[in-house]
Amino acid sequence: MMGYLRSDGRKGIRNAVLVAYLVECAHHVARRIVDRADDPDVQLIGFPGCYPNAYAARMMRAIATHPNVGGMVVVSLGCESFDRDALCEAVAASGRPVELLVIQEEGGTAATIDKGLAAVDCVRSAAGGVERVAMGVGELVIGTICGGSDGTSGITANPAVGRAFDRFVAEGATCIFEETGELIGCETIMAERAVTPELGEEILACVAKAERYYTAMGYGSFAPGNADGGLTTQEEKSLGAYSKSGSSPISGLIKPGDVPPGGGLYLLDVVPDGEPRFGFPNISDNAEIVEMIACGAHLILFTTGRGSVVGSAVSPVIKICANPQTARRLAADMDVDAGRILEGEATLDEVGEEIFDVALAVVGGERSVSEALGHQEFILTYKSFEPVGPACLPARAGVAA
């Protein structure tokens, strides 16, 4: 395998040029630039808010300097709070080409779109010169998520991803699972897998935080379609979701934007700290995908029972379908049919191996199905977090000591 070598030593499996809007008011202009560039590797990201938010700034910086990103065109309206100079400086400091366009200074919509297209050409050409070097499985960061889960998810696709995760972890890769609100009910068994008792305590506390937060919001992380598909309660959905994590020890607890310090399995805490302020922790699946990408995920293993079709900007999304009926109905949206397990045509181990192989093919440059269909969803909203405590990353604490 070959990767795009970045100045921080990380390697990318894609070389995307991002066009980023810094407030909703610049969204249309940025989208037009991407539409007119008409290149699957020129992708739209952005933050809609006009008010400042440290989390959003950190996420945008993490994504702009993600190993799959080669350079960036930043589109600002001009009066929003987002610190555009700090973002551009962070991108430039990472050795990546960056261009800034301020709509109020460029002469409005049409002029900025024209200049934006020229800026994309310039950035793309500079990004194209990046060195490609050999890359091992142990250098990969892989995230997993489930969306549109049903009663089959926890029996087929999720444990099959768990098998693939075990294999990746055994080969030294970094694996991330998440959505602590969808792990309510699993806290005790999960804490027992932590590499230290102190990390186990942190895991219990973060699931308790998720339960408090979701209770304050009035709804669990549970959609009506989950019930249509046979799931009845939050904890039933959680137990199925949890099986994506496989059976490796849990090496650490991270928050959005934290890049894990080494190989192993990590739990991503996506629920904000402090009193509930900005609404639901993750308003849709893509918000979670964006957070895993901000933690350095090169690709995402996405399991679905009801049939999600989404992909993502920056990192390829691989779809693993849990339900054989859905796998037939939405065949053209799925990379792997884990529904075969339910029909006795494949075992969990076989599908786990297939997921591993498909992932390596996508790492090698093959387009995942959602990528080929042009899915490049991206969503980022307001949140606030405190940094993780020392007990959350025992390996790092050990190195420091």
Q: Cβ of residue 245: shortest distance to another protein, in angstroms?
A: 14
Q: Which two tokens stand for residue 357?
A: 């192989």
> Three-state SS for 22?
coil
Q: Cβ of residue 262: shortest distance to another protein, in angstroms?
A: 31
What span, in angstroms and rounded, lies between the C-alpha atoms of 243 and 153? 9
Residue 234 or residue 248: which is nearer to another protein going by CB?
234
Residue 219 or residue 278: which is nearer to another protein going by CB?
219
Q: How far is CA 241 from CA 24, 153, 178, 244, 270, in A?
A: 33, 8, 9, 6, 15
Residue 243 or residue 368: which is nearer to another protein going by CB?
243
Q: Cβ of residue 151: shortest distance to another protein, in angstroms?
A: 3
> Three-state SS for 241?
helix
Q: Cβ of residue 232: shortest distance to another protein, in angstroms?
A: 5
Residues in the chain: 401
Residue 231 or residue 379: which is nearer to another protein going by CB?
231
Q: Cβ of residue 257: shortest distance to another protein, in angstroms?
A: 27
Comparing C-alpha atoms, which of 211, 86, 222 is closest to residue 148? 222
Residue 15 or residue 153: which is nearer to another protein going by CB?
153
Residue 18 or residue 155: which is nearer to another protein going by CB?
155
Residue found under tokens 């261009």? 99
Q: 93: how many CB neighbours lie within 10 A of its CB?
A: 11
Residue 100 or residue 330: which is nearer to another protein going by CB?
330
Q: Cβ of residue 97: shortest distance to another protein, in angstroms?
A: 45
Residue 141 or residue 351: which is nearer to another protein going by CB?
351
Residue 57 or residue 186: which is nearer to another protein going by CB?
186
Residue found under tokens 């230290």? 196
130 pairs with which residues across the strands? none
Kindly tell me the burial class for residue 369, based on how many C-beta atoms sit within 10 Å of its own C-beta (0-12, 13-18, 19 or more): buried
CB-based burial, 16-39: b 16+ in 10 Å, e otherwise = bbbbbbbbebbbebbbbbbeebee
Q: Which two tokens stand for residue 235?
A: 């904890």
Dihedral sign, CA of 314, 259, 48, 282? positive
Comparing C-alpha atoms, which of 59, 37, 60, 5 is closest to residue 123? 37
Tell me which H or E stretch contains 34.
helix 27-37
Q: Cβ of residue 214: shortest distance to another protein, in angstroms?
A: 6
Task: Supply angle C-alpha 120, 124, 127, rounded to 5.
Answer: 140
Binding site for another protein (CB under 8 A): 150-152, 154-155, 184-186, 189, 211, 214-215, 219-220, 222, 224, 227, 229-236, 239-240, 305, 323-325, 342-344
277 phi/psi in degrees, rounded to 5: -130, -50
Q: Cβ of residue 233: shortest distance to another protein, in angstroms?
A: 4
